[in-house]
Amino acid sequence: MTDENDKKPGDGEPSDIRMVSITDEMKRSYLDYAMSVIVSRALPDVRDGLKPVHRRILYTMHENGFTPDKPYKKSARVVGDVMGKYHPHGNQAIYDALVRLAQDFSMRVPLIDGQGNFGSVDGDPPAAERYTEARLAKVALTILDDIDNDTVDFQDNYSGEFQEPMVLPARFPNLLANGAGGIAVGMATNIPPHNLGEVIDGCLAYIENPGVTIDDLIEIIPGPDFPTGATILGRSGIRSAYQTGRGSIIMRATATVEEIRKDRDAIVVTAIPYQVNKATLQERIAELVREKKIEGISEVRDESDRQGMRLVIELKRDAVGEVVLNQLYRFTALQSSFGANMVALNGGKPEVLNLKDFIAAFVDFREEVISRRTRFLLGKARERAHVLCGLATAVANIDEVIRIIRTSPDPNTARESLMGRDWPAGDIEPLIALVDDPKHPMNPDGTYRLSEVQARAILDLRLQRLTALGRDEIGDELKKLADQIVDYLDILRSRARIMAIARTELEEIKAHHATPRRTEILDSDADFEDEDLIQREDMVVTVSHAGYVKRVPLSTYRAQRRGGKGRSGMQTREEDFVTSLFVANTHTPVLFFSSKGRVYKEKVWRLPLAAPQARGKAFVNLLPIEQDERITSIMPLPEDENQWSTLHIMFATTSGTVRRNDLSDFVQVNRAGKIAMKLEEGEQIRDVSICTEQDDVLLTTALGQCIRFPVPDVRVFKGRDSMGVRGIRLEKDDSVIAMEIIRHREISPDERATYFKMRRAVSGEVDGAEPAVDDAEEAVAGPVEISTERYAELSAAEQFILTISENGYGKRTSSYEYRITGRGGKGIVAMAVNQRNGRLVSSYAVENSDQIMLVTNGGQLIRCPVHGIRTVGRGSQGVIVFDTADGEKVVSVERVRDEGEEEVGEE
């Protein structure tokens, strides 16, 4: 006896059970699921631009007669009918789809006219379906036009009880007009909405010339037209999306800086990017203000009403609207990107389509719809004409027809008698031939045999149709049908007629439903830089010893005469003092070199804007520096980075080391910074400057020594982590306080002496311009003759080196007094260092028209013209430039380019 458990598969088991590999079953089941999601749920059809749920909603409302000329109906009724007949999913999913079709901030051309709360751009949810009401919008009727004229195929619903359309016979390219978004399995779609009028013009251009290029279409359809308006930055993302089907389109809110009351500005946002939640946007702005990532905002309030959107971002009194606005663009959704992924079902298969593909697919679909509609109408016209031919034959032979009917015992006999004989066509013979009925042609002898349909129509004929008026009505209707049939046949024989009809229908839709463009497209590169919205303005950037930085408009500081008391340049604490400042444009990129030899890059406009007396913001809050790391050198760069490949960068450290690199090594500096130079223990980067092979390097020390050598004496280092070479040999307790790049010009000591005498004679100088004679070679040199041309050449190449000491004394000295020597020596005297002058703090080249700004460790600042400082010999003590207060010392000196500002008294 066999145990039940010992039975093998197939032994007495039901025939519908079979062994299946679980791997194969999983593959097949997952593929079936994926294709179901792709085709039946997530992706729109390129022909009508609808997903199945949207198509079923519109068709159900059409079936129920919820048209624009009828009262609104409860949304719950629509949802129930859609779910019960066509869409086997939850009512919430159907209602959400219905709501989106009615939202004017989601759809560029809303297809449903909603009444009630259908949500808002603030993310407010719609009211429940039992509260809201809906009906079809007028433009939706054009999507459903001719659906009863056999223009599209139908399929069984999920239960097999009803028939639903596989696609709607849309008269306009809805997919481009309203866009679409959806996530399927292994693919997704994100198609932006467009302007209906522009899209129709693109279709008309394609109908006129099927060979039209994508570039030609872009001229007609310049880009998306979002329902929320706003602006699009650049055209490269649009062009990529239209040509390849994928592209990133940068959207930016429409915002202006307005003066809302005296001395108080506000940023007013009147349009936000597509699909951005306004309430969430407000919360994000408030969060950034609390975290102090954005400064200058005092209040955010929403003043939107029925007239339109108005989001007011009120600014603090000292805030610059353009800067705050750019920060908002950077950190909030006021600037967003739309990732276009133009995927749609084309012929039942998902495809990535370009702009021309979308238009071509729609136009081909319209050609098919018009052809099918014409064939349907032709069939209907022939059916009606067939009946009318029978009636006209009966009227023409009315006496015989009446006799047959009266003598027949029953209707069936009468019908067979009418069908069993040939009737003379008489006057209607031309009409019968004209309607060209292929199913029931006329006999060769001119007689006409009635069909069963005609015989039944004759038996149902009312006696009133036998009057003269009735006979005329039958004849007139038959003639009209004959003309229609001829026209339908002509349409079907001519593709040009079909395309002309498509063109006419598109033009009618444009005339009735097109609206002006809402989204503005800016003709700028898609990589739109924030500083393009920042006004170009010279800024004074001030840095304190404790690592605080700020920028102040240069116009804030008024020029004073030499020897003035100055004004406060930065509010510092007792343990802090100003160490440096420089003047640069708001668009100038700046490199920040740290005590650990790292470099960071930032634009001037990103530095905190503050009042002259304000302390500024700590570097640790601006740059990703460590707690024990501080910024020791700052170098403004040329704004045009294309020039960087031809320039070099020279480093000088406090210990006298120098190093030269290609400036291009510092083009790419990420947010975290990168290594700039390897330093020894206790060494810091003193200065960094741009140079070329035709320049000289001038190093100056705190104890009054200096050295000048050609730039080529320092080779170009390929690595950024090397230590460099010796530039000057320092004495104990000495350090390099400045490095200046000056023009290279060879001049002999005797030629220099003659040049100085000629210059004094030309300028009328009495004293002070004698060259220093601390060098044996210069002491024995005698004057020589130089030509006028040589004098002009030397005069044009001459530079003047301004040297300032910590006690506020300074002088100007000709660059020709700084002779060129070899790199690595002890150098020569730069300025007398004594108890009166103190140690040197700065030394660099200036022009006669320049102005300088001097800052003390107490925060006092003075701005004065250079031409008021005497030009004297290299070893001279100089004159007082800044009358410093007791206990204060000059810590930084910066050159200011003169812009024609007149000298005024102390402010």
Model pLDDT for residues 88-117, shown as the tens digit of each residue: 888 999 999 999 999 999 999 999 999 999
Question: What are the strands, taking DSSP E only, across 572-618?
Answer: 578-585, 589-594, 598-603, 617-618
Q: What is the mean pLDDT of residues 709-719?
A: 89
844 is catalytic: no
- Residue 54 and residue 50: Cα distance in Å, rounded? 6
Between CA 638 and CA 220 the distance in angstroms is 40
DSSP string, 775-821: SHHHHT-------HHHHHHHHHH--EEEEEETTSEEEEEEGGGS---
Instruction: For residues 205 and 296, give the distance between their C-alpha atoms in angstroms, rounded to a whole number.
Output: 51
Give the model confidence (pLDDT) of 505-541 as tens digits.
999 999 999 999 999 998 764 444 555 556 678 888 8
Give the integer Cα–Cα distance in Å for 472 and 5. Answer: 89
Q: What is the pLDDT of residue 629?
A: 79
pLDDT value of position 907: 37
pTM: 0.63
Cα dihedral across residues 812, 814, 817, 823: positive or negative: positive
What is the rounded CA–CA span in Å between residue 475 and residue 462? 16
- Highest mean pLDDT out of 336-345, 545-554, 639-648, 683-692: 336-345
Catalytic-labelled residue, pool 30, 33, 131, 158:
131
Amino acid at the residue 226: F
Q: Which helix (H) or strand (E) holds 707?
A: strand 705-710
Rounded Cα–Cα distance for residues 85 and 80 (Å): 8
Tell me what the mean pLDDT of segment 227-232 comes to: 93
Distances (CA, A) of 405 to 417, 448, 709: 9, 19, 129
72 vs 592, residue with greater confidence: 72
Mark residue 757 as left, alpha or beta (left: phi above 0; alpha: psi -120 to 50; beta: remaining). Answer: alpha
Question: What type of residue sits at position 786?
Answer: I
CA 144, CA 170: separation in Å to the nearest integer? 6
389: CB partners within 8 A, 6+ apart: 428, 431, 432, 435, 437, 448, 454, 478
Which one is predicted more confidently, 875 or 518?
518
Residue 889 phi, psi dihedral angles, 5° rounding: -135, 150
Cβ neighbours of residue 581 closer than 8 Å, sequence gap 6 or more = 540, 541, 542, 543, 569, 853, 855, 861, 892, 894
Spell out the residues 6+ positions from residue 69 whose beta carbon is closer than 8 angstroms to its own: none
> pLDDT-based confidence at 777, cuts 50/70/90?
very low
The DSSP symbol for 16 reads T
The pLDDT > 90 percentage for the chain reads: 40
At residue 871 the predicted structure's pLDDT band, cuts being 50, 70 and 90, is confident
Domains of the chain: 50-169 (3.90.199.10), 254-333 (3.30.1360.40), 369-505 (1.10.268.10), 535-745+798-896 (2.120.10.90)
What percentage of the chain's residues is helix, strand, coil (to nearest 5)?
35, 25, 40
Compute the Cα dihedral for 228, 233, 239, 244 and give only its sign.
negative
Quick one: DSSP state of residue 40?
A: I
List, in order, residues 6 or more apart from 681 with CB less than 8 Å away.
Answer: none
Instruction: Round to whole Å and give the CA distance between 584 and 636.
Output: 7
Q: Please give the Cα distance from 304 to 279 (Å, whole number).
A: 12
Tokens of 469: 């008026």
Average confidence score pLDDT of the chain:
84
Residue listed under structure tokens 């530079």: 799
Environment class of 26 (CB within 10 Å of its CB; exposed 0-12, middle 13-18, buried 19+)? exposed
Q: How many CB atoms lie within 10 A of CB 441?
A: 12
Question: Taking a C-beta distance cutoff of 8 angstroms, is the pair 865, 851 a contact?
Answer: yes
Decide: 245 and 238 in contact? Cβ < 8 Å. Answer: no
Residue 626 in 3-state DSSP?
coil
